[in-house]
């Protein structure tokens, strides 16, 4: 855990975590950083206290002591969001400090009780409520429901113009030496662009309309620094991450980079025979290609890659009268995440009968994905020259259609 001073009386405690599944399901290839913040006036508050993934808070207590704070000195625990990556230490903390107040939204208060038992320390805060810590430090509270849980709020410190944004404006990816946007190298900027999209797509996409409202709410503050619960802090240009989040939200509704993702699977190599041909066509057209072979690709990478692509090619055979299950499952996951409005093209092989395209339509319909499909190509067995010609025509139509969707 690192300790970094942000301003007089404000410290960040930051911890890298890896080799875990976020929310118990998302493999995060490059780890994640958990940030919590101490704000000290005459009274002291901790915002989103983080602990090791094993639930042991001793590391946090040791680090508090190194900035000359005992856990008993903490007067207020600000719970911006109850997900246990931010709040998992409450139960333990109560064993060593019996005199503190939890400030959170009404929705979070219910979760505190349901997760950790009855609690008489809670003070519910509403939009605009202010906590005066003394010595010039004032915190105000601003609910942003469903980003991504219903309990979430932003906390703003007025003397330093710092917005503690919790999951909002967060990114996956471990941080090294550089924690602020004015320190990061161009490679790190690129890394956090990718990890920001991965985070948005894995955690936030389903709640895109509410994220947009939270962006609008953020714009109401005079901000010097955005301090999220995960990933880098923004003090050189806080508006950049707001613009990035707006762009990610547009990816969730059909826009994308000038890239096409081939989401594919093959049982015995018949559908796969067309993939190399497709790659050559896209290379000739100057389009960056992402290949996701299911079920080999992680769900985290699949959702992150698909969402940022302006076009999607689905290539999968029929399996037992339906779509090859690993690819069908991937599309259904994109539907559950409410990835809408993509331009797409399907092709695939069948043996004794088709059925994959029919199931694909059902998945798109059931999840109300509103994807715009080029006419599909289904072929018997191995693709013949005439099939490849139809596939090429489909791809060229797709390449033309994504021109209106590109947003870098
Ligand atoms: Fe960072 Fe929603 O937990």
pLDDT in tens, 127-182: 999 999 999 999 999 999 999 999 999 999 999 999 999 999 999 999 999 999 99
Cβ(238) – ligand 1 distance below 6 Å: no
* CATH code where residue 54 lies: 3.60.15.10
Cα–Cα distances in angstroms (integers) from residue 122 to residues 30, 99, 140, in the given order = 36, 12, 16
**Cα 365 from Cα 4, distance rounded (Å):** 49
Q: DSSP letters of 52-67?
A: -TTS-THHHHHHHHHT
**Together in a domain, 233 and 297:** no
Give, as one character, the DSSP assignment of residue 355.
-
Phi, psi dihedrals of residue 356, rounded to the nearest 5°: -65, -45
In a domain, 407, yes or no: no
Nearest CA to ligand 1 atom 2: 83
Asked which of 251, 284, 301 is the last residue of a domain, the reply is: 251
- Taking the centre of ligand 1 as the mean of its atom positions, its distance from the CA of residue 85, in whole angstroms, is 6
Domain count for the chain: 2
Residue 350 belongs to domain with CATH number: 3.40.50.360
Q: Are residues 350 and 294 in the same domain?
A: yes
CA of residue 30 to ligand 1 center, whole Å: 17
Scan for tokens 């041909």, then name that residue.
277
Q: How far is the centre of ligand 1, averaged over its atoms, from the C-alpha of 49 (Å)?
A: 12
Kindly state the helix (H) or strand (E) to which residue 400 belongs, with its residue range.
helix 385-401
Instruction: Classify residue 408: in a domain, yes or no.
Output: no
Q: Is the dihedral of CA 44, 50, 56, 58 positive or negative?
A: negative
Pair 39, 159 in one domain: yes
- pTM given for the model: 0.96
Please indicate whether residue 229, judged by its CB atom, sits closer than 6 Å to ligand 1: yes
Q: Which atom of ligand 1 is nearest to the CA of 203?
A: 2
User: Nearest-CA neighbor of 139 among 78, 68, 82?
Assistant: 78
Same domain, 31 and 124: yes
Q: Is 85 in the pocket of ligand 1 (CB under 6 A)?
A: yes
Evaluate whether residue 155 is within a structural domain.
yes
Which pLDDT tens digit goes with each residue over 211-233?
Answer: 999 999 999 999 999 999 999 99
Quick one: pLDDT band at residue 53, thresholds 50, 70, 90?
low
What domain range includes position 217? 2-251
Same domain flag for 230 and 134: yes
CA of 386 to the centre of ligand 1 (A): 50
Confidence of residue 117 (pLDDT cuts 50, 70, 90): confident
Asked, for residue 82, whether it belongs to a domain, the answer is yes
* Ligand 1 site, residue 86, Cβ cutoff 6 A: yes
The SS3 call for residue 288 is strand
Query: Are residue 315 and residue 244 in the same domain, yes or no?
Result: no
DSSP string of 114-181, one letter each residue? HHH---S-EEE--TT-EEEEETTEEEEEEE-TTSSSTT-EEEEETTTTEEEEETTT---B---S--BT
Residue nearest to atom 1 of ligand 1 (CA): 167
Q: Which helix (H) or strand (E) holds 11?
A: strand 10-17
Give the end of a domain, one of 207, 225, 251. Answer: 251
Q: What is the pLDDT of residues 263-285, one digit of tens each?
A: 999 999 999 999 999 999 999 99
pLDDT at 56 over 80: no
């Amino acid at each position: 855990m690192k300790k970094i001073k942000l301003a007089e009386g404000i410290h960040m405690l930051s911890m890298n975590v890896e080799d875990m599944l976020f929310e118990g399901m998302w493999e995060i290839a490059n780890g994640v950083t958990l940030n919590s913040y101490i704000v000290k006036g005459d009274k002291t508050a901790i915002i989103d206290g983080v602990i090791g993934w094993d639930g042991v808070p001793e590391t946090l207590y040791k680090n508090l002591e190194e900035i000359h704070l005992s856990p008993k000195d903490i007067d207020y625990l600000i719970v911006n969001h109850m997900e246990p990556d931010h709040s998992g230490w409450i139960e333990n903390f109560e064993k060593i400090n019996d005199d503190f107040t939890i400030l959170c939204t009404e929705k979070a208060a219910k979760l505190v009780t349901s997760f950790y038992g009855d609690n008489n320390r809670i003070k519910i805060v509403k939009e605009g409520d202010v906590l005066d810590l003394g010595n010039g430090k004032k915190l105000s509270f601003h609910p942003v429901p469903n980003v991504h849980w219903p309990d979430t709020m932003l906390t703003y410190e007025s003397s330093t113009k710092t917005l503690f944004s919790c999951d909002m404006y967060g990114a996956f990816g471990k941080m090294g030496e550089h924690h602020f946007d004015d320190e990061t190298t161009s490679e790190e900027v690129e890394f956090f662009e990718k990890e920001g999209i991965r985070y948005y797509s894995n955690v936030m996409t389903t709640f895109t309309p509410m994220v947009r409202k939270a962006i609008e709410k953020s714009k109401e503050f005079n901000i010097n620094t955005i301090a999220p619960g995960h990933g880098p802090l923004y003090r050189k240009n806080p508006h950049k991450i707001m613009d990035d989040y707006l762009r990610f939200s547009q990816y969730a509704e059909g826009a994308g980079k000038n890239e096409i993702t081939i989401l594919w699977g093959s049982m015995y190599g018949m559908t796969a025979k067309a993939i190399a041909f497709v790659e050559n066509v896209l290379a000739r057209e100057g389009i960056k290609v992402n290949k996701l072979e299911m079920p080999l690709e992680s769900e985290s990478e699949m959702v992150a890659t698909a969402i940022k692509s302006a076009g999607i090619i689905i290539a999968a055979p029929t399996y037992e009268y339906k779509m090859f299950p690993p690819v069908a499952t991937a599309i259904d996951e994109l539907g559950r995440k409410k990835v809408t409005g993509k331009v797409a093209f399907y092709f695939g092989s069948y043996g004794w009968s088709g059925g994959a395209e029919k199931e694909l339509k059902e998945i798109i319909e059931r999840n109300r994905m509103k994807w715009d499909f080029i006419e599909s190509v289904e072929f018997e067995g191995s693709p013949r020259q005439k099939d490849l010609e139809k596939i090429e025509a489909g791809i060229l139509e797709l390449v033309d259609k994504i021109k209106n969707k590109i947003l870098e």
